[in-house]
Amino acid sequence: MSTIRVVWGDATGPTETAAYDSALAAANVHNYNLITVSSVVPAGPDLKEAGTAPDLGPTGNALTVVQSESTVEPDARRPAVAGIGWVRSESGQGLFYETEGHDAEAVEAAIRDGLDAGKALRDWEFEDDPTVRLSRADPDPEAYASAVVVAAYGQSRPIVE
């Protein structure tokens, strides 16, 4: 695994699932079967904000991810906000923390609080400041709106051997 890419997107759709799929398409991870893992960053790979994923392998493959997703119904009064934050230790291992909500400031605060709690559980020397990436989907009067942030671990792999 060479790189963990943080990608994000927002979109609308006629159903909750369609909006989510469209937000994944905006991040270019919609053609994979996403396998969600807990939020530990291995020491080896680079970690970068990519915005949109490059080709990570054949359609239908499994892609290991940490993800945050938020969707609001048509004509909602609040936006959908998804976010992931991360921090690494001096040795390279680290943590992701993901959450969602309707207020960007509250989502970011929850991410920072969650990372602080995770750091307190570990006997690692961490970098000073975490990085936080948010995605926001404004409500639409006629469609569901979805925001996603995905940390994609390396390349995809066949889901069926």
Q: Is residue 127 part of a domain?
A: yes
Q: Is residue 24 part of a domain?
A: yes
- The 10s digit of each residue's pLDDT in 99-129 is 999 999 999 999 999 999 999 999 999 987 8
As to burial, measured by CB atoms within 10 angstroms (0-12 exposed, 13-18 middle, 19+ buried), residue 27 is buried
Mean pLDDT for the stretch of residues 39-61 = 95
Task: Give the total number of structural domains in the chain.
Answer: 1
CATH number (domain holding residue 63): 3.50.20.10
pLDDT-derived band at 161 (thresholds 50, 70, 90) equals confident
Structural domain harbouring 96? 3-153
- The 10s digit of each residue's pLDDT in 73-106 is 999 999 999 999 999 999 999 999 999 999 999 9
- Contact between 98 and 83 under an 8 Å Cβ cutoff? The reply is yes
Across the chain, mean pLDDT equals: 96
Helical H segments across 4-57, by residue range: 16-27
Q: Is residue 161 part of a domain?
A: no
